Structure formats: structure tokens, C-alpha cells
Amino acid sequence: MNVLELECSACGRKYDASIEQHLCTCGKPLLARYDLRRAAATLNLENLKSRPRTLWRYAEVLPNDPTVSLGEGMTALVHAERLGASIVCGLGGLQHLFIKDEGLNPTGSFKARGMTTAVSRAKQLGAKALAAPTAGNAGGALAAYAAAAGLPAVIVMPADAPVANVMECQAFGAKVVKLNGLISDCGKYVAEHKDREGWYDVSTLKEPYRIEGKKTMGYELWEQFGGKLPDVILYPTGGGVGLIGMCKAFDEMQEMGWIGAERPRMVAVQAEGCAPIVRAWEAHQSSAQFFPNAATVASGLRVPGPLGDLMILSMLRQTKGTALTVTDDEMLHAGRELASMEGIFAAPEGAATVIATRKLAASGWIQPEETVVLFNTGTGYKYAEAWQRALQSAGGGAL
């Protein structure tokens, strides 16, 4: 087993990784720890050249269970020259703007990364049924990987989640429970039913292995930039697992001697209608308050009470990053820009990072010579409702 032990992200308490584990007794998430010296002996740019083009190429720093894989990871890193040139930054535009297109993953979002590792591990640990609350995309990914693993899945989502997410879960054979509420209400439902029903809880950060899949976004950036990391990473933050995962990857890389203490400045982008992390950041707080009446077209950003708030805020501080909001109208507008200038049909969450870049470049926080990576976390094909609104408001007429 590659994972030596699990360690609490808040209090440091250690747990046995060879049995099913969820949260620490203090209520905070657990992180997987490896023998990184051993990993570094075989994991390097040269060896990576001949490995399969999935995230499992980083095997030494992942749980080594028999994998339930659908070909996830190694998504394109697109040089967005036209979009970069259109961003006002100093006297010219941004020449080194890149988009990591996570919409190219199985089930159309970066959620596939977390689910390949979590479902592989759950199956190995003997799980009989998998359950998770979801804003939409995580449910689709869990349902797909559960089907690939031959396990039943229960997906609990808000009744107003994008219709494509409901359909994909049903097509993958999962049981879908729709609730009139937010993802936080769906989380309560799973917590209340899991013991009685015998479900293995795959909720965000409530098991330690989704982070492990998500962290590979950080490893891929390093590999795709030829052994370097960018200056700035903009990430649409809901539960924050991708942001936490990438920062964990950077710490592991430093321990393996790949990089020094320098880090990309991490930027958490949230929706104006649901911004618990941004509000806490602006108030210089180390934890976030529950965000009341959360509402945004970017369903993945509608996470009013993220469990990883302490980690997210501390990583923003440690990397000298920042956090900012964008409105739904800005996201929909930016989605059209990204599509028409770069040929990328993005989720509103991904489009949000374009507006955030414009704002940070205009204020001088991003400098013209810097290498900047935007995460398009999902494909626009899942967001028929949002895109209909975007195209109508652009004068496209009735669809």
C-alpha cells in the first residue's frame, strides 16, 4: 500500500490507512501521507514520458489499489493567445495565459479525478454502496465510476441542479434523490441515512481520497510546463478540493526535491451569490461563515459552508494569493468570450476565472510577463440552462 497513514489536516492526529476512514474525531478532513523519498526514486520527468496518459501515471503518489479508471486526467493545457491579448494588463495583454481544460475528462468535469481514486479505494476497502451529496458534476462522476466498479450509487442533489446531471446519474444506473435545498441539505441527508442504509460516504472531504485524484492537476501543470509551475492559478472554488489538492501536490513536490519553497499564487474565484471564502478572506478571518441564501448559475460554486475552509484560507495566505467574486452575468458573458475567442465551451464556473483575470490584471495584481493558468473545471455541454440564458442575453433570440 502506497499510503503510509492518514493525518488530520487540523490537529495532526494519525489514522490507519488500511481500513475505511472518514473525518477526524475533531471533525476535520484527513490527508494521505506517502514515503516521498521512495516515490522520488522512480517518479521523474524522464520516466513519465513512457507512462499511460491518465492521472494514474503518478502512481507513486496515489493509492495503489486496482484502478477503476475511465481514462481521466492529462487534460489539455491550451495557450489562450487571443484571450490573453484581449486582457488589459500594463501596456499590452497577457502573453502567457493558459487554460487547463478539465471539461475534457470523462463525464465532462474535473470531478472524474477525485472519483477514480475514491471509488478505487472504496471498492478495495469492501464498500457495498456509494453515496454523495452533489451540486451536480460530482454526482455524475460518482455514478459513472460506481457503474464501472459494479457498485450501486445514491446521488443526492438539489432539485434545481442542471438537468444533464440528473440524466447522466440516471443513465449510469444510480438512484437519484432530489431535495428542495442546497448541497449542504443534501449532505445532511447522506449523513442521516448512511449508517442505516450501509452507504460508504464519498462526500467532499469526508473521505481522504478524492483529494488524491484532484491533486494530480498540480502534478500535470508541472509536467506540462516542462518541470516548472506557473506564477498564478485561478480556480473556481466551491468545496475547494481542487485548490487544496494542488497545494498538497506542491508540498509533495517540494519534499521530493522537484521545486523549492516558491508557489504559484492561488486565486479562489467565487460567485457573488455564494462567496463564503471571499467574505472570510476580505475580513482577514481564518474560517468561513455559512453563506445565507446561496444562489448562482454556477451550480458547482453553490457551496455555502465548505468543510475545507481552514485549509483553503490558509493556502491562499501561504501562497500570497487572493480571493474575489464575479457575478452571474459576468460569468455568462465571459463564457461567450472563451467560446468565441478560444474554441472552449466552458462551464460558468470556468468562465468565472476569465473575469477574475481581467479584474486582477487591471488592478496590477497580475503582471504582463506572468504565466497564468485558468481552470475550466467543466464542459459547457452540461449547462444547457445557463447557456440558454447566456445566448439569449447576447441577443441570440429565443432558442
Ligand X SMILES: Cc1ncc(COP(=O)(O)O)c(C=O)c1O
Among 3, 8, 161, 307, binds Zn ion (CB under 5 A): 8
Among 6, 23, 80, 241, binds ligand X (CB under 6 A): 241
C-alpha angle with apex 189: 215 to 198, nearest 5 degrees? 80
Among 378, 380, 386, 387, binds ligand X (CB under 6 A): 378
Cα gap 351→318, rounded to integer Å: 26
Measure the N-to-C terminal CA separation of the chain; round to a whole number of Å.
Answer: 53
Question: Which one of Zn ion, ligand X, none interacts with residue 8, CB within 5 to 8 A by kind?
Answer: Zn ion
Bridge partners of 372, per DSSP, are 97, 232
Binding mask 100-119 for ligand X (x = CB under 6 A): ---------x----------
Which residue, among 4, 246, 205, 17, has the nearest Cα to 121 in the 3D structure?
17
Among 55, 316, 347, 351, binds ligand X (CB under 6 A): 347
Cβ-contact 267, 313 below 8 angstroms: no
Cα gap 114→90, rounded to integer Å: 38
Joined grid coordinates for residue 41: 526514486
Three-state secondary structure call for residue 6 = strand
**How far, rounded to the nearest angstrom, does the alpha carbon of residue 114 sit from its chain's CA centroid?**
8
Cα gap 357→318, rounded to integer Å: 20
Binding mask 293-332 for ligand X (x = CB under 6 A): -------x--------------------------------
Question: Which one of ligand X, Zn ion, none interacts with residue 236, CB within 5 to 8 A by kind?
Answer: ligand X
Using the contact rule CB under 6 A, the part of the chain among 131-139, 218-226, 278-286, 387-395 near ligand X is: 131-139
Residue 349 makes contact with ligand X by CB under 6 A: yes
Instruction: Give Rg (Cα) of the chain.
Output: 20
Among 6, 17, 23, 24, binds Zn ion (CB under 5 A): 24
Give the interface size with ligand X as a residue count (CB under 6 A). 17
Positions 136 through 195 that interact with ligand X (CB under 6 A): 137-138
- For residue 296, give the amino acid letter: T
Residue 311 makes contact with Zn ion by CB under 5 A: no
Work out how close the CB of 241 gets to Zn ion at its nearest, in angstroms, rounded to a whole number: 18
Among 1, 26, 163, 171, binds Zn ion (CB under 5 A): 26
Torsion angle, CA of 165/168/170/172, rounded to 10 degrees?
A: -140
**Which residues here bind ligand X, judged by CB under 6 A?**
109, 135, 137-138, 204, 236-242, 300, 347, 349, 377-378
Point out which residues bind Zn ion (CB under 5 A): 8, 10-11, 13, 24, 26, 28
